[in-house]
Structure 1
Amino acid sequence: MRLAMVVLYTGAGLIALLYAALTYRRRSETPLALPLSLVMAGSAQWALADACALAAPTPGLAVTFNYLIFLGVATVVVGFFWHTTVSAGRRPPRLALMLIHPVLLMAVLATDPWHHLFYRRVEAGGLGMVVQPGPAYWAHVLYSYAMMAFGLVLVIRALRRAVRGQRRVYLWFLVGALAPTVGNLVTVFIDVDLQGLDLAPVLFLTSGVVWWWTDRSGVNSDPVPVTYAQVLSALSDAVMVLDPNGRFLDVNPAATKLLAAVNPACDAVIGRQWREVVGPHFTAMVADTGQTTIHGPSGDVYDFRVVKIEAAADGTSTCTVVVARDITELERLRAELTDQAVRDGLTGVYNRRHLAAVLDAQARAAADGDPLSIVMIDVDHFKAVNDRYGHAVGDRMLVDLARQLTGSVRESDLVARYGGEEFVVVLPGVPAHAAAERADQWRRQCAARAIDTPHGTLNATFSAGVAQLAATGGPDELLRLADEAMYRAKRAGRNQVLVAESALSISG
């Protein structure tokens, strides 16, 4: 049995030593390599000292090798704490502080034959040494487990912060830490049944394999998103994390709500493909990075931002972050503001600037031969209305006339306020004579409408000039002709419609 244990410890120590050397060579590639190599070097020291203690020819030499076990234990504790700190996304601890425990421990062990604070009694046992621990031994055990427990707390906190696709890595890390911890607890507290049997250094090989896998996976080599759950769950934007194959790693509550609206039949999305959840309408938008505005099938408008997270070493994409925002209301407000920018503040019809832009576009379109006419309208005696009834009544008159005109035109027509009491109606596809007939109909409706005022009822009339775009003319010429016709109507007695370059008068 003793020989088998020596072989076991020696084999475990040599494997751990080889693994420590191989891991150390990768120290420039990942911040986890150096602490992991330290853990495995300490484990190798631990196991080889155990083997030497069992194979020692004299009790005195066995005790010496038994003391050397704790040099490996202290190294393992330092490496373990370092590894857990880096894995949790924190800065590596100061090496000087971590070395306090190993230095003090070596000093106590070197002088223990004189003060017996570490081992009160040492004697030969069936599979090695049987010892009676002293207060320094228990202080060492308490400190070691406190440091390891603190490191595990850091990992657990990082696990809770991490996205769900990364949490499995932390769980495997905890599994790797659990195996030697249980083995050491058996050695320390159940030594009555297993005298001399030290399971911890052998089981650290399990830790090495598991931690090697978590390190090589590349998932937790860098710090994970800090306070991920707290921050992203508070965002109104939908945040979705996809792996390189397009599977969902995590979604925040806003994303859950958005995905439920896009695909009500979809329940859990973690682990499912993006195209399976969002359907064909949104599938292609995650192919490229950048910002995209997408109109949903129900008319909603979404702003999508796609970011590829790349690994620092080789530039390959490790995941894709999709941030989506429902901008339906924002787009409505934007359209409303855009519309207000081209509207007259009092009457609500289009302003002069928009009229100029529309006339220019309509004039180019009319070059194909379709007629384009305009009607220029001026309220009769408007200054007298303001002087007698007040500006408030004058404003009401303009608003009322604007409403009448807007309610009497086609969807393709345009009503604009040209000046103080002047309006222009653009009639694409309508020749001058037909435009004059429509304008006269508006004139009659306006004259028949009474406006109540504190000084009695008021009937408003207007004069209008009609012009049709000539083949060689432009918007400015069209406005000039309509303006001249309108002033001719005023000089002819007001409350009538005249066509430019014509003696035709349509009056009521």
Structure 2
Amino acid sequence: MGPLVASVYVASAILCTTVAVYAWRNRVGRAVTATSLAAVAVGAGWWSVVAALQAGGAGDAVSAVASLAVYPGIGLLVLAFTVLARSVATGDWSPSRRLLALLAVEPVLVTAVAATNPWHRLLYHGPGTGELATPQLWEHGPAFWVHTAYSYGLLLVGMVTLAVGWWKAPQVFRRQYLSVLLASLVPVAVNVLSVFDALPGLTQPTPLGFAATGAIMAWAIFRQDLIAFAPVARALVVDRIGEYVIVVSPDGRILDVNPAADRFVRSMNPGGPATLLGSSASSALGGFDVSDLLAGSGDVDRVVHGHDRTVELQLSSSRLVDNRGVDLGVVLVGRDVTEANEQRRELAAANERLGEQLRTIEVLRADLAEQASRDPLTGLLNRRRLMVGLAEAMAASHGPAASVGPGGSVAVLMVDVDHFKQVNDRWGHRAGDEVLVQLARLLCEVTPEDALVGRWGGEEFLVVLPGADTAAAASVAETVRARCAEPPACASADGAPRARTVSIGVAATRSPTGAPDMLVDAADSALYDAKHGGRDCVRVHPGLAADERRAASART
């Protein structure tokens, strides 16, 4: 029976060694978990070797030394299991140096006590303890019971930690945690079986249980990749991101929330359920309808009304299925875009106001440009604008679209108020201004719609007639002169006569080389003839051909 039991312990030691080497080689990315698992396997393997020596029928001296040498392995196993349980339950946790130092105190002390037991007999006492003989007759001392209570206490803490981690894990990850939790219970089950003599010959079943624990955990951690996926991803990513993450089951109940989502839900609905996990997502969110979000994946904007505020959310929903295609629910990732949307609305309003201001400025600019081209008294075009319009009319009369016949010429009328100085001297400048305004109105009424009417300066007015030849221009001029001679047109508001007549000079050109200033000079010359011919008459310039030929020759 002894060799068979010893072979069981040897097999356990080999299994522990394999687990330790495998865990150590695969520690990249999961250093704390893999290292602590390797340490558990080393401790269990040490214990298995000692048990094998004792079960194999070694001499009293070897068995006695083995009984004391087992304690470094037990101390390492308990310490490593405590760290392993915490790292599995909390994926991003790593022990501090201070914690490791505190956990190492007891294993170091019990090892020292075991090494010096023949002197003080605190760990074992009885026949042969001083001479390291007859270990089967040794009795447990106080140090043994203190060590046993401490070890089982830490093992219990580790198991409770794993149980809490399993309980708090999201529903979709609980089966993963369960395999690790059940693995930690194997040593307990083995010891229970030993108590009821279900394992005959195995005086020390605990190392065998921990060997099985190490193997199962290694399979769960490395083959299923549980620790690398579930706890690390959740602890390092989900719990720490600022977005609201809520996992909702197919029936609309909350399976998991990250801290950001928990704070958001409670701020929007303080009267909601005390525990969000397992509660209705709609009731927890204050009546927020999530039924359409459970139907599929996609992005949607929603408005959530809380007890004291309204929040605009940007939600992304993703279906959650297992590797068999079973529907596990939906993951909702939300982001508060209230402030961003408000800023966008304010920016849009500001852009609208800016656009309105720009339109107003453009209207004012156009108005100012128009005012800059107008005579402030009469509202007619000023001299500069008249010359620009005359040049454009002359250029258009000879362009590609210019018509033939009379339409190819341009004429101007130079109109002057007769004896205007007498009006100012006799009735004042206000009366003179009134005469000028009345004449401006008459010119606008009598001249064609395409004519350019402006004040040339003082009491002189210039009229540009695009497409008009000399005869047509003279006819318009005669109409203006006749209308001005009529008393109603020249009377003031009180009925007193002001200016009676006007003198008009007419000039026209059909030459493509003609200059605007030469045409105006010709009309002014004709006006001079009219004023010296008795006033209240129209004079037509005889022609610009000779003057234009001389000007062209001079330019050449």
Give the TM-score, by structure 1 length: 0.49
Q: Greater helix share, 1 or 2?
A: 2
Larger Rg: 2
More strand by share: 1
